[in-house]
Amino acid sequence: MVFINKFVFISLLTTIGFLYGLLLFLSDYEENKCEMTYMFQYPQFVRISMKIDNQFKKYGLYAYSEGHFTERARNMQFKGIPVLFIPGNAGSYKQVRSLASVALRKALNSRPGFHFDYFTIDYNEEFSGLNGALLHDQVLYAQQSIYRIMELYASTPDKPTSIVLIGHSMGGIIAEGLLSVIPDNSIISLILTLASPHKRPPLFFDSHLYNFYKDIESWDNKMNTTFITVSGGFNDFLVAPHLTSSKHLSVVTTHIPKVWLPMDHLCILWCKQLVLVLNRALFDSVDPLTKQISQDKEFVVAVFKHYLLQNSGIRINLKDHYSFPTPIDDRGDWIERLARQYSVELTEGTRKPQWYMIRKVNQPMHEVLSVMALNLELTNWIFACSAHTIRGQSRVCIDATHLSHMSEIVPSHKFKRRFLNINLHQLNQNFTHVVAKIPATSEPVTLHIDIHSEIDRKLIVDLPVWSLKNKVIIDETPENRLYYEIHFPGLYHVIQSYTLYVQPIQCNTRNHHASASLSVPWSNLDSHAIFSEIQHRPMNLRLHSNKPLN
């Protein structure tokens, strides 16, 4: 009887623990802050006939179009860059709408001289993630779809020689599988996958699925195609980020500049912030001479790294020019303050340009400069120069070296934030100042300056293995301190989880806020949080993947 009572007690505790863990798992997600994408005109899907349709009557190939452009699609008149969307497990061919519609509007508004033609496959919403036997049929149909799409451009001047593949979930695995059945892989210039489990599926349901993945592993060394993979982070309960890594570039949506949001498995297809970034990257990957995706794979990867990893706001094709000195327009007020920390708030803008001069001083407390500009729409905003030219009562610079391309756009609650953190002692000795420019504007602009030593702002924190007590890292930050770097050497495994609290003590306005970024040095899996008087939610410190052994 005693044994039975113990068994019942242990079983009850185990059940309670399981239910509590399940509740935590199902509630462990952030609020969906994605904006919805909308079509300006009613979306149309034009069926494209193929010879293989008789063999696969449940499948179909469609071209996406809107409004009066649909007539061209119905007449099979295509003159753009072909893109094929491949849906995933139980996915619809209509899920291409957001990516395709935004690409169409961008081509119409920006007038770059080229556009993208989006095609999409209807797999009858098959459960390819649960039945591996379906994958081989889907790969075969996608292969014939590519051949059929390329045939549509046969009579087009400067016809394309390659196609872009975009796959969602298991559609990304189909795109990868195509590399084994298409003899010339160069026909696939780029594969972009969203929430696709490239390493392995979340669960193996049959031997067909297992063998399909084993075959992919043997093809991996033969790939000549650029691979970009994007995962949704902790909000995706179906495909974890560590399953999505690929050969060239893998990133989680919380890491991507101007996105900074986790996404669930379906939201990643229509989230406006992400769709805009991906379209900008695709458009900038086009060679202006050939009007096709560049054949320079290093350039294409560099473009996607610019948009997905660290975005300074400067177009990637202009970055090479930033290594050369440039003349500057020195009109305006040149202002130099001796304080190491201060803020400039122009609530009503400024009628003429203002140049804020930060002097280089060869002292330990003047080692590092942290600058943040709020609501500054100027791309070229910060420079290093030698102020040897006298104008009136002040010294000015007449030429300078760009530092803007070394800055980055960082998370913000309201206004765009541009941030630069640079070691002043490592700059050219001939430079006397770093200068930040605020152009004439009627909009409010804020500039924060923080000069400090590196060791003064770098903290190393030992994390407890298990603790219910709070540990204070910084009791209170002095006024106008802009930047701190906190290292957690003990945070290295996915099972670890800590909570970071940042409590505002006194803010001048409700818009004032602080941001924290968890930077993961071994992968592109950063996450961010914003703290203000109206936003108190703590930040979870946890990893998407373990620290590599080497």
Distance separating alpha carbons of residues 380 and 318, to the nearest angstrom: 11
Q: Per the structure block, which two tokens stand in for 488?
A: 């957690």
Task: Give the angle subtended at the CA of 285 by the CAs of 283 and 286, to the nearest 5°.
Answer: 75
**Residue 169 annotated in active site:** yes
Max CA-CA distance within the chain?
Answer: 98
Distance between CA atoms of residues 272 and 35, nearest Å = 5
Report the alpha-carbon distance of residue 130 to residue 50 in Å, rounded. 27
Token match 């969307």: residue? 85
Residue 102 to residue 307: CA distance in whole angstroms:
17
Quote the CA–CA distance of 368 and 355 in Å, as a whole number: 20
Closest CA to 83 of 67, 57, 54, 106: 106
Structural tokens at position 120 = 């999409």
Query: With the CA atoms of 518, 521, 523 and 529 taken in that order, what torsion angle do they form, in degrees rounded to the nearest 10?
Result: 10
Tokens of 506: 């006194």
Which segments within 316-463 are labelled E, that is strand?
Answer: 326-327, 333-336, 341-346, 354-359, 368-374, 382-385, 389-391, 394-396, 399-402, 408-410, 417-423, 433-438, 445-452, 458-460
Sign of CA dihedral 377, 379, 380, 382: positive
Quick one: which of 88, 63, 89 has its CA closest to 78? Answer: 63
Where helices occur in 203-353 by DSSP H, the ranges are 207-219, 267-270, 272-284, 297-308
Name 44's Cβ contacts closer than 8 Å, sequence gap at least 6. Answer: 64, 65, 66, 70, 73
| Residue 468 phi, psi dihedral angles, 5° rounding | -105, 0
- Cα separation of 249 and 177, whole Å? 18
Cα–Cα distance measured from residue 165 to residue 84, given in angstroms and rounded to the nearest whole number: 5
Q: Please name the residues in contact with 394: beta carbons below 8 A apart, sequence gap of 6 or more.
A: 334, 336
Place of tokens 């031997």: 207
Q: How far apart are CA 279 and CA 271, in angstroms?
A: 12
Number of neighbours of residue 234 by Cβ within 10 angstroms: 19
Task: Determine which one of 65, 169, 412, 532 is catalytic.
Answer: 169
- Cα–Cα separations (whole angstroms), residue 352 to 332, 381, 437: 6, 15, 11
What residues are labeled active site? 169
